[in-house]
Amino acid sequence: MAGENVNVVFKLYCLTVMTLVAAAYTVALRYTRTISTGDMYFSTTAVCVTEVIKLILSLGMLSKETGSFTRLKSAIKEHIFFSPKELLKLSVPSVVYAIQNNMAFVALSNLDAAVYQVTYQLKIPCTALCMVLMLNRSLSRLQWFSVFMLCGGVTLVQWKPAEATKVQVEQNPVQGFMAIAIAVLCSGFAGVYFEKVLKSSDTSLWVRNIQMYLSGIVVTLIGVYATDGESVLEKGFFFGYTPWVCFVVFLASVGGLYTSVVVKYTDNIMKGFSAAAAIVLSTVASVLLFGLQITITFAGGALLVCVSIYLYGLPKQDTSSVGLKNMEKESKQKLVTV
């Protein structure tokens, strides 16, 4: 019983942290792009710094996993310096994630945090489609139903978008929605691609992360040079950075790594509750900070999205004879354990 209580407490902890990070990231990023006073920072440099921090944190986790500096050194030599093909393989999600992260800045510069949070849930059907095509997985009828429900909810949210009265900067909702669409496609493909790479070998998750973040740093540096090269040389790499900007970078760095822990120790239902709770928190924060005016279509669409997320995360019901036998076997094992 004590072990079960610890397990429940840890899952609740994971759920709480994931929810707070997701909500705080969107709200804080929105604040730095629309409300925060001072010179505007370069979003491309923020994405690059995030990759650097993720690399450092992954090195720390790999060091803890290997247990000694000697083993860490040999692991880096084997999987980094002597594995150019693996680095090239992980450069694919690096490029895609770099695009996704930059699109988040574009989207939150033009859309409210609550609208972004709801619309970004389109990553669920996109990921589902990629899983079907790339991993040959199947979805239940309930999951397909929830996917269509989610799309309907997002359509309602975008039909008459809620407006924020305290935002003074010029915004382009169409550009914001297009940025989310690109980010959603990137998220679905990169997530499934990375999962496929992870399951193709027994290589450590942290090694794979290091390989991906090394490529990510190179890719994002190219993005800095191509997009803001002259301005960065003139004003400096960290121009416009404030404590709020540093907070956004921190949340992006920790949130990216924390996702792997959440995926390992929680289930789809808990992740669904987390996404729904993040939508609610983002909406409340948007009302308080940005003067968001909630419309009927937004409220109805957000509710549909939250319900669809919950339905999508429900476990599949196996009604086959093999499935029933496995369920009976599991129930007997649980009785014996108790």
**Residues 24-75: pLDDT tens digits?**
999 999 999 887 666 889 999 999 999 999 999 999 989 998 888 889 999 9
* Cα–Cα distances in angstroms (integers) from residue 291 to residues 1, 51, 157, 162, in the given order: 47, 33, 17, 10
- Residue 316 is predicted with a pLDDT of 67
pLDDT band at 124; cut points 50, 70, 90: confident
The verdict on pTM exceeding 0.85 is no
- Residue 104 is predicted with a pLDDT of 93
pLDDT, greater one: 259 or 192: 192
DSSP 8-state symbol, 163 = E
Average predicted confidence (pLDDT) for the chain: 83
The two structure tokens encoding residue 101: 């992260």
pLDDT band at 323; cut points 50, 70, 90: very low
- Residue 164 is predicted with a pLDDT of 66
Mean pLDDT of 91-114: 91
pLDDT band at 291; cut points 50, 70, 90: confident
List the chain domain ranges.
2-315
The two structure tokens encoding residue 298: 């937004």
- Residue 274 is predicted with a pLDDT of 77
C-alpha angle 4-6-7 in degrees, rounded to nearest 5: 60
**CA–CA gap between residue 10 and residue 3 (Å, rounded):** 11
**Residues 222-275: pLDDT tens digits?**
999 999 999 999 999 999 999 999 999 999 998 877 766 665 566 556 677 778
* 211-215, 289-293, 304-308: segment of lowest average pLDDT: 289-293
pLDDT at residue 99 above 90? yes
* 88-92, 115-119, 329-333: segment of lowest average pLDDT: 329-333
- Residue 273 is predicted with a pLDDT of 73
**CA–CA gap between residue 118 and residue 193 (Å, rounded):** 24
- Residue 92 is predicted with a pLDDT of 93
pLDDT at residue 210 above 80? yes
**CA–CA gap between residue 275 and residue 15 (Å, rounded):** 10
- Residue 329 is predicted with a pLDDT of 46
**Residues 163-184: pLDDT tens digits?**
666 666 778 888 999 999 999 9
pLDDT band at 335; cut points 50, 70, 90: very low
DSSP 8-state symbol, 38 = S
DSSP output for 106-149: HHHHHS-HHHHHHHGGGHHHHHHHHHHHHS-----HHHHHHHHH
pLDDT, greater one: 326 or 162: 162
Among the listed residues 189, 177, 173, the one whose alpha carbon sits nearest the alpha carbon of residue 95: 189
pLDDT at residue 7 above 80? no
- Residue 37 is predicted with a pLDDT of 63
pLDDT at residue 9 above 70? yes
Please name the residues in contact with 24: beta carbons below 8 A apart, sequence gap of 6 or more: 251
Percent above pLDDT 90 for the chain: 31
> Hey, is 164 helix, strand or coil?
strand
